[in-house]
Structure 1
Amino acid sequence: MKGLKWMLAAAVSATMFSQTGGTLHAAGTAIVDFDRGSYLLNDGTAWKQDVDNGGYTQLDFDLTEIEGGYGITTSGTLVQLQGKGEPQVLKNKTGVVHISGDYYLDKSGGLRSLGGNGNPVYTDIAKFADSGNGLVVLTKSGILKAGGFSEKIEQFSTSSEVTTLDGYSDSYSSVDDVAVVLQSGKVLLYNRFNFDRDNLTKYIPVTITENAADAKFDDEGNLVVLMKDGTVGRTGSSVADRYKLTESFQNLKGITKLISVYSQGMYVKTQDGSVASYDVQLDELEKLTLPGVTDLSLKMDKTNLTVGDKVPVQITEFWTGGSTRKVPLKDADLTIEKPALLQKLSDGTLKALAVGVTKVTVKSGSLSKTLEVSISSDDIITTGALIGGSMYLPVQAVFQQLGASVQYNGGTQIFSIKLNSTPVQLQLGSDTAVVNGKKIKMSGKVQTVDGVTVFPAALLKSAFGAGLAWNSSIQSMTITFGKAEMQVQTKQTALIYKKKAQGNLANLIGKSYWINFFDTDYRFQKVTVVDVLPDYNGNFALAFKFPSGQILNTYETSGEAWIRILADKEEFFTADPYKTYKWSSAVWADIKEGYVSIGMTKQQVELSWGIPDSKSAAVGSGIRVETWQYDDFNYVTFTNGVVSFIYTS
């Protein structure tokens, strides 16, 4: 197995894996392998460091080995643990027995590249190691080979004579050193420049020790050797000491396997089967423990919501060693105390469903964080009733806005309500409520008003602790649960608001007018103002009623404008024009059609065409000639007040 460079790995080991806070693994499990921040447990599960999101995730692939960002399952299938996307089983890579660097070995002896086309690079291989710049292989027939060396480094009697092998590259394209550990305990070190001068194809091995169990090169090319007695030594870095075990580690004892080695430290397996990290400079051996969550954060953009709001949720795990992980809502262990009020959505938000207060709790291991969320409603209920000085609330509308389910049995006249986890029963005609099995006497009976079944508002206070604020001036009640609130009004509330908004315009109601040019479809017809309709933004529409009962609704404008319009005789008359001007039916017919004819008076022309744009007059010899000009160069001339000439364009 090859992990990260020791400077990084040692820092992680020394600071990250103290088992404090909410550790997320089952009791009794032990770490048996370590690679690139990933841990393999004795139950086959692995803990993978999440490079993108931080923290760790548990993978259940039933693995036997992890190496180079990959894992091998008990069935011999390769699993890609690191890399882009989620970990995945590589179904086309089966029968795997070992992996090292960029290569894997299958049980048939085929050595294949992880990124290749699937064809073996070598066949008949028993063991191999990838130095990063070249391969070291041992064939099943016992031949030792390596890139950079000639065809054959050594011929052993059988491949089983070799227990482990490793290579080191000091160049970019070849292996410079090969170490072999034999069953006998002998460690042989081969260098590609150390060959027999009389036989250039024969390499001269140097025996490092006769009593070894394992050996690996560190990142500087020094050979780290595990002795059979569980101690560990290392060759020197000088030319003179390169083939000698010149360094021993006092506190490195009871070791059974070298997992990965570096110049500054190593990962090893100890006699108790656990994995430990060793710091060379400090001469300290520290058992690896799984990382854990030390703290947890739960945040929402806001916690005072309105029904219908969708609010994002941010969940962060703080891991030992300073690592953090952003946990998507879909993956979080999040519970909502009252799910009827708040809903978890797949887009990572929580949606407010109903009025009330609920707690949102997220857990990670033994840690948990809770936020209190208050939800109010902008939807005002308008079917309350004021009965005998007490406010009554509509059963269906109020409890449904609180997120309750409501069912009605027409036979028993009982409303069966479930508010969160609390069952409630209300019966039409009864003043007793049953809340969670307990009978509660109410201040009045459940009854029907204008087709809506209502109950005394005081029940919400006595049974559920609601706050009730009554505004008698507008007949409105605000119901609160902590910071959450909803509003219920009576039918009179809208009328009260309307009356206040109408102001002095309410005096117009009941007054009659006769339409002039305000609406040419209804000229000279009588209408009566039956309503003043405020838009509550400062404008009003009027509702006129004809004697036939037909209603004419107008456009909206300001109250001041309506006073001017109604007083403008071009728009409306305040008296019946037929009675004011007793003209013939023929004249009235022309006026209504907008005709002007010779012989009409000024008053008749004004009623037919309206007030002119301009007037001019001349007087002479007792005769007055007056001309009125209208739009589009239309003219009417009067001689002594009677139409004598008409010009239309």
Structure 2
Amino acid sequence: MKKNRYRLWIAALCGILVLTSFAAVEPKVNAASASIKSVLADGTMLLADGSIVFPDRELAKGLGVVRITGTETKGYGITDQGALVRWTQDQAPALVPDVTGVKQVTMSRLLKTDGSLWAWNGDTLVRERAESNIVLMDDDGISTLAALSSDGAITLQVGSGEKPIKLERVNSLSSVRKIAAGKERIAVLFDDGEVMMAEVHHLGYDGEIGWNRVTGDGEDIAFLSDSRLAVVLKGGNAMLNRLTSGYGFFELSQYPEAYQLKQVVSGLNSSFYGQRYSGEWVYFHDKQITPVDLAKPSGILLTASATRPKIGDAFKLSLEQLYDNGRKAPIPLDQAAITVDKPHLVKALPDGTFKATGVGDAVITAQFGEWKADVKISPSLRYPLETLKEIKGVTYLPLVGTVQALGGTYSFNAKAKTFTVLVGSTSLILTKGSDKVKVGGKTITMKGSLTEDKGVTLLPAGLLTTVFGAKLSWNQDKTRITVTMGSGSFAATYLYAAYGSGQWSDWLILMGYPAQNQIRLYFRIEDKSVRVHTESLTNRALEPSAVAAVERYLDDYLIGIGVFTPDQYNVPYKTIN
């Protein structure tokens, strides 16, 4: 087996001699980078203090992690006490119950300090080998397992259940510094710097797998994602073997600008990370070098799943930490102080979501450490209020519906005939039959009196402009008024619907338009169209222009209740007469 062991020593030595000139360059030390202990292929970092920094999720700290494997979406870690930590895309890193004495972990296997080897079956560990004699191991996450047994045997196993192939037996277990597994191949770094490599398709003169000496000056080894072996030499240079099988497969060649390294870690897409003697990390890909900086927090970003919700709708907030390199990571909301400047418009719910309760603009602010961020929420009312009235040239709105739309509360004193209204911090006292209203300690005269019509208390619409700064606007047919508060709004309309009777009991009757005593309009909403029936309430035949005018009111009513949007003004009616 050992007859091929020294075959490539000259080629590897030549590679070292040619490139020793790189060692004269002294890189600038990056203190933040130097606090990185190791890096995973996707850029997930393990810091010296045991924290895990993910590319796009919150920092995990306080677990005492000393080794990690996997990616941001799924991975494992080992604590300084030998406990196992696991995380997934949906779960933050946490200790795995009842798993202790962990020495090594990969995405396929786990090795315990007692020498027992376990395999992952989903999220469950099952014993892979009956004997407990494994000292060191590595796998490629698919089919290849490389291992050092307590009897000194170095083995390569390709395929689950296959018999391990013995490559060498060492006299001292401590002579093996590291074992690495690639696709159907193994590499071993010995304590004296010797690196040996085998690949199942490279056979020796005796027809068995060749056990080949790669270099005698190794410092670290790792297989890249394309299965090439990366070797860091004691001089700090990084070397790679040939990508394709064939003659010279075990020869090493210098990777451009990869110098003063002490360890190497595989990255994605044939890339790799290297740690320099100074402690800083660099990323190598396609002959380009990028410093690996530990990004510094630069602020926070607060967003909402809906910034213009309808009253009654619930929405979620998301808080992210911003970094100076453009990266973002989520922050749990319970780790920040959340405040709402107008809690009568937006209410926090027990489940962590928020509910729109009033029309207007509310600002939600998050305080996280030294940073603040806010988001504006502008709720609107989904459907228009009914009972819009005009009395003696004054437009009136229903008091109760208006107060509720503004997120306010009210109480009524029957004896004094007064309504006490509270909208946020603004208090109003109105008296039935009076045009005077007390706002705080000031009395204001309204354009009309607080009145009642068919059991509904009405207040002059202009009061909203005087007290709250609302803007009032009418639609083209003067059937609907819109009250705008900041970026939120609600509407009130003369139009409303009542249920028909008799043969029209499953139809609605449009009410509130000027000609309702001459023309009756029945309608029924069906999927994406509306069935319409009009009939004359006089002895005169219906004029097409009169029917078209009434249908315009129906358009307006349907738009107001949200059946159609304004850009769908020409409703596809199916007329039945």
Distance change in 2, residues 1:462/1:111 (3 Å): same
Shift of 1:113: 1.4
Distance change in 2, residues 1:30/1:296 (3 Å): farther
Instruction: Please give the residue correspondences for 1:405-554 in structure 2 after superposition, counting only pairs within 5 Å.
Output: 405-407=409-411, 417-420=421-424, 422-426=425-429, 428=431, 431=436, 433-435=438-440, 439=442, 441-443=444-446, 457-468=461-472, 479-481=483-485, 484-487=489-492, 501-502=516-517
Equivalent residue, structure 1, for 2:13: none
Q: 1:72–1:97: 8 Å Cα contact kept in structure 2? A: no
Equivalent residue, structure 1, for 2:66: 64
Aligned residues: 459
3-state secondary structure, aligned to 1:144: strand
3-state secondary structure, aligned to 2:403: helix
Equivalent residue, structure 1, for 2:139: 130
Measure the CA separation in 2 of the matches of 1:499 and 1:480: 26
Instruction: Please give the residue correspondences for 1:338-417 in structure 2 after superposition, counting only pairs within 5 Å.
Output: 340-341=344-345, 353-356=357-360, 372=378, 374-375=380-381, 377-381=383-387, 395-407=399-411, 417=421
3-state secondary structure, aligned to 1:233: strand
Counterpart pick for 1:40 among 34, 42, 45: 45
In structure 2, what residue type is equivalent to 1:502? N
1:185 aligns with 2:185: no
Q: Which 10-residue stretch deviates more, 261-270 or 314-323?
A: 314-323
Equivalent residue, structure 1, for 2:176: 162
In structure 2, what residue type is equivalent to 1:404? G
3-state secondary structure, aligned to 2:115: coil
3-state secondary structure, aligned to 1:160: helix
Instruction: Please give the residue correspondences for 1:272-311 in structure 2 after superposition, counting only pairs within 5 Å.
Output: 273-279=279-285, 281-287=286-292
Shift of 1:133: 3.6
Measure the CA separation in 2 of the matches of 1:324 and 1:80: 22
3-state secondary structure, aligned to 2:385: coil
Equivalent residue, structure 2, for 1:254: 260
Measure the CA separation in 2 of the matches of 1:362 and 1:99: 39
Shift of 1:259: 1.4
Distance change in 2, residues 1:36/1:316 (3 Å): farther
Unpaired segments ≥5 residues, structure 2: 1-31, 495-510, 524-533, 542-577
Equivalent residue, structure 1, for 2:274: 268
| Rg comparison, structure with higher value | 1
Measure the CA separation in 2 of the matches of 1:356 and 1:433: 22
Measure the CA separation in 2 of the matches of 1:185 and 1:423: 79
Measure the CA separation in 2 of the matches of 1:366 and 1:272: 36
Q: 2:346–2:358: 8 Å Cα contact kept in structure 1? A: yes
1:208 aligns with 2:215: yes
Distance change in 2, residues 1:559/1:392 (3 Å): closer
Measure the CA separation in 2 of the matches of 1:228 and 1:244: 17
Instruction: Please give the residue correspondences for 1:19-98 in structure 2 after superposition, counting only pairs within 5 Å.
Output: 31-37=36-42, 39-42=44-47, 44-46=50-52, 56=57, 62=63, 63-68=65-70, 69-74=74-79, 75-81=81-87, 90-91=96-97, 93-98=99-104
Shift of 1:83: 7.8
| Identity within the alignment, % | 20
In structure 2, what residue type is equivalent to 1:208? T
Distance change in 2, residues 1:417/1:96 (3 Å): farther
Shift of 1:477: 7.3
For 1:107-152, what per-residue CA distance to the aligned partner results, in whole angstroms no more than 9, with x for missing partners? 2221111128622425222211224443221124533233379874
3-state secondary structure, aligned to 2:291: strand
Unpaired segments ≥5 residues, structure 1: 1-26, 50-54, 490-495, 504-533, 539-555, 564-649
Q: Could you tell me the TM-score, scaled by structure 1's length?
A: 0.53
Equivalent residue, structure 1, for 2:18: none
Q: Could you tell me the TM-score, scaled by structure 2's length?
A: 0.58
Measure the CA separation in 1 of the matches of 2:386 and 2:198: 88
Q: 1:127–1:139: 8 Å Cα contact kept in structure 2? A: yes
Measure the CA separation in 2 of the matches of 1:91 and 1:457: 64
Measure the CA separation in 2 of the matches of 1:218 and 1:499: 80
3-state secondary structure, aligned to 1:398: helix
Measure the CA separation in 1 of the matches of 2:154 and 2:458: 93
3-state secondary structure, aligned to 1:461: helix
Measure the CA separation in 1 of the matches of 2:223 and 2:479: 87
Distance change in 2, residues 1:187/1:393 (3 Å): closer
Shift of 1:157: 3.7
Shift of 1:165: 1.7
Shift of 1:278: 0.8
| RMSD (Å) for aligned C-alpha atoms | 6.1
In structure 1, what residue type is equivalent to 2:154? L
Shift of 1:39: 0.8
In structure 2, what residue type is equivalent to 1:186? E
In structure 2, what residue type is equivalent to 1:143? A
The answer to which structure, 1 or 2, has the higher relative contact order (CA under 8 A, 6+ apart) is 2
Instruction: Please give the residue correspondences for 1:521-600 in structure 2 after superposition, counting only pairs within 5 Å.
Output: 558-560=536-538
Distance change in 2, residues 1:97/1:407 (3 Å): farther
Shift of 1:266: 1.6
Counterpart pick for 1:118 among 119, 123, 126: 126
Measure the CA separation in 2 of the matches of 1:286 and 1:474: 66
Distance change in 2, residues 1:366/1:215 (3 Å): farther
Equivalent residue, structure 2, for 1:644: none
Q: 1:355–1:486: 8 Å Cα contact kept in structure 2? A: no
Counterpart pick for 1:226 among 223, 232, 237: 232
Shift of 1:460: 2.0
Shift of 1:404: 0.8
Distance change in 2, residues 1:312/1:442 (3 Å): same
Equivalent residue, structure 1, for 2:155: 145
Equivalent residue, structure 2, for 1:643: none
Shift of 1:401: 2.8
Instruction: Please give the residue correspondences for 1:610-625 in structure 2 after superposition, counting only pairs within 5 Å.
Output: none
